[in-house]
Structure 1
Amino acid sequence: MTPTTEAVAERRPAYLTELAQGTDRFHEPRRTDCPWCGSTRLRTRLRTTDLLQHKPGTFVVDQCRACSHTFQNPRLSPEGLDFYYRDFYDGLHAGHCARLLRAQESARHSAHRHRAAARALLPLIEPESWLDVATGQGHFPAAAKEVHPYTAFDGLDTGSAVEAGRRAGRIEEAHRGTLTELAPVLAGRYDALSMFHHLEHATDPREELKAAHTALRPGGHLLIEVPDPESRYAKLLGKWWVSYFQPQHLHLIPMDNLRRELERLGYTVVATDRREAHVPLDLTAGLALFLGHWLPRADAPWRRKAPTPLQRRLRTALTYATAPLIAAAYAADRLLAPLAGRTCFSNAYRIVARRNPGARAAD
């Protein structure tokens, strides 16, 4: 057996034991009101399964008719988040979704995009200290250092990758934990703080914004990028729109909502942008999710039985056969990127906000 096959076989008994208890226990009670504005005028926007790892379970994404906030409902419990995040980033999944994730991460976290994001602060501030939240191994600070050579970059993340980033010299200090936990210790230390595709994973985005306010010095700047739930690609592709990213994305926040909340918390929004934040992979990712849903499944520890040799060969053959379709979708994404970034098809947005001197974050 290959190392991956061995890892799958080793983890299968534990997964099957958990799944024997059902997946309903992974969800909190369903909300009847919007977590953003409190309105009870909700509608179901999406009902789907796990299209990424194909773990058992169903997920519902609701939208508030009053403020358009979009959120997972019922939300995963801490136990559920642990279950669905587990084994996601270590290569156990294979085939189309693995290539999708590699391509998506490569596009979203490329050095070129990182440098472009770092330049967003050039007209506003030359920070002495910068904290990158959910930094992983610190690839953003490494690229941003080319734009801000005199800035000291630190990183924060919950996993061990942040320590690897420090050892590699990409960040100076590694803070392991959540921003909401560590903000009191980091109070007033930073001139700049960045959150790239982090808020959508947070159980309470407001608490993240308050914690950022605490960590920033008066006059410091907060740089945020998040998926845009108002993107036309969401309507065009439906459940195949990768930015729904169920079950990991808990909140999708419209830009106007985030702007107003930042102002309420003691920030001044100084810049917004959809063009630079757009990641040109909607068609590629949507097609990969669709094909991954219908192709014979790869082996995984949450499957009761491993695929037969015939199923493995069939999956491999069909994967190669559909590769030209993926290549065509990728070419279309790249070709349409300039237009998408300037229209309502942009799939993400960026906000830069300044912490008001003397302001205290609202409760």
Structure 2
Amino acid sequence: MATTNQPPDTPDTPAPPPPASDAERVARLRPAYQAELADGIARFFEPRRTDCPWCGARQLRRRLRTKDHLQRKPGTFTLDQCRDCGHTFQNPQLSAAGLDFYYRDFYDGLYAEKIGGALDSDAARKRNHERAMAMRRHARPKRWLDVGTAGGDFCLAAREALPGTTFDGLDIGAHVLGAQQAGRIERAYQGFLPDLADELAGQYDAVSMFHCLEHTTDPQAQLAAVHTVLRPGGHLIIEVPNPESPFGRLFGQYWLPWFQPQHQHFVTMRNLRRALTELGFTVVATDREESHIPVDFTALVGLYVLRLLPFRDEPWLPRPPGRLGAAVTKTVFWAGIPFCFPMYALDRLLAPVIRRSRFSNAFRVIARREE
């Protein structure tokens, strides 16, 4: 009997399904979001405060009232300012349920790829390298904890400036675990720094918080936790939006650093320096130039265009826009995009001047933990 060396017939391996389109992903998420919103949004907010969370003074004034222009999730958000110390804060502040609702599908889930692409741009990598070099002028840390690390983009870029440093990352999102799996960080901690501070006490020579403090519900507790995890002689490098920039008043709800509802506290440089000194830090450097991100004019137009979009397909909106609504929305969107290009050029043209002025949209502080 003749034989052959051919393998027996096997069923063809099924091809993987094509990735879901944005519309399909939205449709899958809509029932859960609509069920969650059926009870209203009151539980997403804490009671309104009558005193300043930074200094306790009771002299407050309203600074801004706005909507969520980026995602168009429901709700109205108010920023109040303390007349005594100048601290600006979200009032009422998001509750734990609110933080979950408004953060969900932004840094992960539905918008993860879009946000991740923005964080991993050439400009972002250059900025992260400059941040590491700023620390290098004061210290050569062996162990570094990056708080609010997201996908570990800073740690990846900083290795070039500090090749002998081990970088760990901490974040509340699951993407910090992916950063560890990808080799961008050595250890991943998922959670809030104050909850993990005792476990990590005295383990680090450097801690970074790049545009993280403004997201937290209690910035003073975060700073105290940093003091705990740093060794004596260790350094903290921190960047936050500059709430004293005149652009915040001129552009109002279209100034990107207000970033509602995610940004909850806006600390002035004076308040931050004083708080660090009281904790036992010595401020060794401050900066408004390198920390400025040239995006104010571009974002001004971009946020206004997003507000004008008449119909958007989002799972937290009650229904899809339909064929006509989608067509109208695309028309408005693409009609607005050309206005962003001259604003982009203007941001770059004016950046050298703005960096050296009080209009800078961010500032940096480097401080050393004393004995």
Provide the secondary structure at the position in 2 that maps to 1:120.
Answer: helix
Candidates 55, 58, 61, aligned match of 1:43: 61
Q: What is the TM-score of this pair, normalised by structure 1?
A: 0.93
Candidates 306, 329, 335, aligned match of 1:321: 335
Contact preservation (8 Å) 1:108, 1:279: no
Candidates 342, 347, 357, aligned match of 1:343: 357
Contact preservation (8 Å) 1:39, 1:64: yes
1:232 aligned residue: 246
C-alpha offsets along residues 189-239 of structure 1, whole Å, 9 cap, x if unaligned? 111110000100011001111111111000100000000100111011001
Q: Determine the C-alpha separation between the residues in 2 that align with 1:7 and 1:331.
A: 35
Contact preservation (8 Å) 1:92, 1:300: no
Candidates 267, 270, 286, aligned match of 2:300: 286
Which stretches in structure 1 are left out of the alignment for 5+ residues?
358-363
Provide the secondary structure at the position in 2 that maps to 1:315.
Answer: helix
Contact preservation (8 Å) 2:281, 2:370: yes
1:20 aligned residue: 38
Counterpart of 1:24 in structure 2: which amino acid?
A: A
- Give the paired residue count: 353
Deviation at 1:88, TM superposition (A): 1.5
Candidates 299, 309, 327, aligned match of 2:313: 299
Candidates 98, 102, 111, aligned match of 1:84: 102
C-alpha offsets along residues 10-68 of structure 1, whole Å, 9 cap, x if unaligned? 22122222222221221111000000011100000001111111111111100000001
Deviation at 1:91, TM superposition (A): 6.5
Provide the secondary structure at the position in 1 that maps to 2:159.
Answer: helix
Q: Determine the C-alpha separation between the residues in 1 that align with 2:141 and 2:109.
A: 37
2:263 aligned residue: 249
Q: Determine the C-alpha separation between the residues in 2 that align with 1:136 and 1:324.
A: 31
Q: Determine the C-alpha separation between the residues in 2 that align with 1:159 and 1:249.
A: 16
Q: 1:103 to 1:48 in 2, by over 3 A?
A: farther
Provide the secondary structure at the position in 2 that maps to 1:121.
Answer: helix
Where has structure 1 moved over 4 Å in runs of 4 or more? 101-104, 106-109
Contact preservation (8 Å) 2:148, 2:172: yes
Q: Determine the C-alpha separation between the residues in 1 that align with 2:96 and 2:352.
A: 39
Could you say which structure has the larger radius of gyration? 2
Provide the secondary structure at the position in 2 that maps to 1:147.
Answer: coil
Counterpart of 1:142 in structure 2: which amino acid?
A: L
Q: Determine the C-alpha separation between the residues in 2 that align with 1:321 and 1:235.
A: 27
Work out whether 1:355 is the aligned partner of 2:362. no
1:159 aligned residue: 173
Counterpart of 1:61 in structure 2: which amino acid?
A: L
Work out whether 1:73 is the aligned partner of 2:91. yes
Counterpart of 2:62 in structure 1: which amino acid?
A: T
Counterpart of 1:85 in structure 2: which amino acid?
A: Y
RMSD: 1.9
2:211 aligned residue: 197
Q: Determine the C-alpha separation between the residues in 1 that align with 2:106 and 2:69.
A: 12
Contact preservation (8 Å) 2:119, 2:153: no
2:183 aligned residue: 169
Q: Which has the higher contact order (CA 8 A, sep 6+)?
A: 1
Contact preservation (8 Å) 1:107, 1:279: no
Q: Determine the C-alpha separation between the residues in 2 that align with 1:170 and 1:210.
A: 27
Q: Determine the C-alpha separation between the residues in 1 that align with 2:51 and 2:174.
A: 36
Contact preservation (8 Å) 1:93, 1:298: no
Which stretches in structure 2 are left out of the alignment for 5+ residues?
1-18
Counterpart of 1:42 in structure 2: which amino acid?
A: L
1:32 aligned residue: 50
Deviation at 1:105, TM superposition (A): 3.6
